Amino acid sequence: MDATSATPPDADGSLSGATERLERPPKRQQQQQQQQQRTNYGTNNADATDGAVLTVPSVVIRESGSRPSRLNAGGNDGGHSSGSGPGPSQHDIEEEQGLKYGAQHVIKLFVPVSLCMLVVVATINSISFYNSTDVYLLYTPFHEQSPEPSVKFWNALANSLILMSVVVVMTILLIVLYKKRCYRVIHGWLILSSFMLLFIFTYLYLEELLRAYNIPMDYPTAVLIMWNFGVAGMMAIHWQGPLRLQQGYLIFVAALMALVFIKYLPEWTAWAVLAAISIWDLIAVLSPRGPLRILVETAQERNEQIFPALIYSSTVIYTYMGTHYTPEETLPTATATATSSPSFSNSTTTTRATQNSLASPEPAAGPSSSSTRPGNTRTNQQRQQDNPSAAEEEAAGFTQEWSANLSDRVARRQIEVQSTQSANGRSNEYRTVTAPDSTQQPEAQEERGIKLGLGDFIFYSVLVGKASSYGDWTTTIACFVAILIGLCLTLLLLAIWRKALPALPISITFGLIFCFATSAVVKPFMENLSAKQVFI
């Protein structure tokens, strides 16, 4: 069965081909694979174009399929690999899921980002409350009252430095708490901040909204609406709720936070903060001792979901029906290794995945892979079904949260590609090697998508909202397009590097360039053109 799942489709041939060749089992099997390939191309022709458009996750997913073949070729002979019954269906499922959850996720990320920006821009343009700054945040003591640009400049610089140091301190605090396993403190922190946003800031928003549209309302109704909205939001974000609702709340919360920033940050400071935060993002995610990187590695060491997520994910992250209960797979680094060939385990973060995959042929695997051994897998599954709420609680707690706090926003600011299919491929391979009952395998499919931190939503929206607050639609749309292009490029880099990447730097840089270029060059040019009636 695994040979069938090993067929690399032409969509990702360029990327997966190399590893595929390295792991290629004996020649006879290769031929079988090619045969299977042909049949699969026939069946999945319609979807193949889909995969070809966006190779990002399809690469990941397909590669995962290729891994069992290598191990199976080592464990059993080629005869087993192509002959067993459930193979094609399994492969079809993987294929289908790969295409279904692969390409769509990239698009799925565009929709919420656009929605968030839309909410912010609409609010900025319809509610004048968010357009004027009269009260300031505590973190920005310099208010840019002076008319001199130089004074404004150093004010903005000082403000953004203060704000950034707060961010850094909060992030480090978060890392320390996480390292010390103070999950309750972190949870409390997140719940408190989401509570504040969902009740207090939403209350202000509702008031200004009603005032802007001159809609009468009495206090009992307002209180009832706030109570319902807030409690449902807390349930959806921190506990369990429909995915759409949760996504909607996360988008709204991000938009609200962006509005708070636009409202309470002085003019130049907002721009300076945008630039500074994207640089910080770059450092925190990519530098060897960057806090977010430490976070990722710690989470990986502990076999946990990546940190209390503050993350918008395009699908459910929800592991408790999986046959294996190792959230380890959700880590970007782990998946990256799982998808690249295990023989290339030279970085420190790759060791676990490598150990797992190499140890898998023997049932008595090393301690690190104990949770993925079939016996444990089954007990885990049983335990989860007996006591699903605990498992869910954990899964929910680590994925659905978000916060308004600065450090959390930093923590959110990362994109990860998650390929559960690869993870499932791994768990399936244990199963097939040691206990070939593949009836449960379809259940093991989890959904994974590309994740984007809520902080990215917030700062994208701040940029677009700030641009739109000048009342110029050309600039606004230029910013919007620039940010989406930046996001596209980030996703492209994600496909190449396959590790957690900061989503802010490219997008924000593009956005800032486009914004100032448009308002300084394009807009006067257009105005001049229309004044001279060139367009007529």
Partner 1 sequence: MDISKAPNPRKLQLCRTYFMTGFALLPFVWAINVCWFCEEAFRKPPYPEQAQIKRYVIYSAIGTLVWTIALISWIIIFQTNRAAWGATADYMSFIIPLGSA
Q: Which of 42, 180, 219, 288 binds partner 1 (CB under 8 A)?
A: 219
Instruction: Read off the tokens for 98.
Output: 């790969």
Task: Give 535's DSSP letter.
Answer: -
Give yes or no for residue 229 binding partner 1 (CB under 8 A).
yes
Report the nearest approach of partner 1 to the CB of residue 109 (Å): 19
Give yes or no for residue 243 binding partner 1 (CB under 8 A).
yes
Burial of 118 (0-12, 13-18, 19+ CB in 10 A): middle
Give yes or no for residue 390 binding partner 1 (CB under 8 A).
no
Q: Which of 118, 166, 232, 282 binds partner 1 (CB under 8 A)?
A: 232
| Piece in contact with partner 1 (CB under 8 A), picked from 114-122, 169-177, 205-213, 508-516 | 205-213
Q: Which of 18, 224, 496, 529 binds partner 1 (CB under 8 A)?
A: 224
Helix 56-75, helix 332-339: angle, nearest 10 = 60
Has 408 been annotated as catalytic? no
Q: Which of residues 433-462 bind partner 1 (CB under 8 A)?
A: 447
Indicate which residue of 12, 47, 281, 408 is catalytic: 281
Instruction: Read off the tokens for 441.
Output: 């395998």
Residue 100: which of 439, 448, 417 has the closest Cα? Answer: 448
What's the CA gap between 50 and 102, in Å, rounded? 9
Burial of 470 (0-12, 13-18, 19+ CB in 10 A): middle
The residues that bridge with 415 in the sheet, in sequence order, are 452, 501
Report the nearest approach of partner 1 to the CB of residue 191 (Å): 17
Find the DSSP H helices in 265-373: 267-286, 291-301, 332-339, 351-359
What's the CA gap between 50 and 106, in Å, rounded? 12
Report the nearest approach of partner 1 to the CB of residue 438 (Å): 19
Q: Which of 18, 53, 231, 489 binds partner 1 (CB under 8 A)?
A: 231
Task: Give the number of residues in contact with partner 1, rule: CB under 8 A.
Answer: 34
Report the nearest approach of partner 1 to the CB of residue 323 (Å): 12
Instruction: Read off the tokens for 329.
Output: 């797979």
Indicate which residue of 2, 12, 408, 456 is catalytic: 456
Residues 150-189, one symbol each (x = binds partner 1 by CB under 8 A, - = not), give ----------------------------------------
**In the complex with partner 1, which residue's Cβ is closer, 51 or 233?**
233
Give yes or no for residue 217 binding partner 1 (CB under 8 A).
yes
Report the nearest approach of partner 1 to the CB of residue 448 (Å): 12
Give yes or no for residue 214 binding partner 1 (CB under 8 A).
yes
What's the CA gap between 452 and 415, in Å, rounded? 5
**In the complex with partner 1, which residue's Cβ is closer, 92 or 393?**
393
The radius of gyration of the chain from alpha carbons, rounded to an integer in Å, stands at: 25
Give yes or no for residue 28 binding partner 1 (CB under 8 A).
no
Has 2 been annotated as catalytic? no
Report the nearest approach of partner 1 to the CB of residue 11 (Å): 26
Report the nearest approach of partner 1 to the CB of residue 217 (Å): 5
Q: Who contacts 329 (Cβ-Cβ below 8 Å, separation ≥6)?
A: 335, 338, 418, 419, 420, 422, 423, 426
Q: Who contacts 232 (Cβ-Cβ below 8 Å, separation ≥6)?
A: 241, 245
Pairing of β 311-313 and β 450-453: antiparallel
First to last CA, the chain: 67
Give yes or no for residue 242 binding partner 1 (CB under 8 A).
yes
Instruction: Read off the tokens for 504.
Output: 């802010």
Report the nearest approach of partner 1 to the CB of residue 52 (Å): 28
| Piece in contact with partner 1 (CB under 8 A), picked from 7-15, 25-33, 149-157, 227-235 | 227-235
| Piece in contact with partner 1 (CB under 8 A), picked from 112-120, 315-323, 347-355, 480-488 | 315-323
What's the CA gap between 515 and 509, in Å, rounded? 10
Give yes or no for residue 128 binding partner 1 (CB under 8 A).
no
What's the CA gap between 333 and 417, in Å, rounded? 9
Site residues (CB under 8 A) for partner 1?
207, 210-211, 214-222, 224, 227-229, 231-232, 235-236, 240-243, 245, 316, 318, 321, 385, 388-389, 392, 396, 447
* Residues belonging to the active site: 281, 456
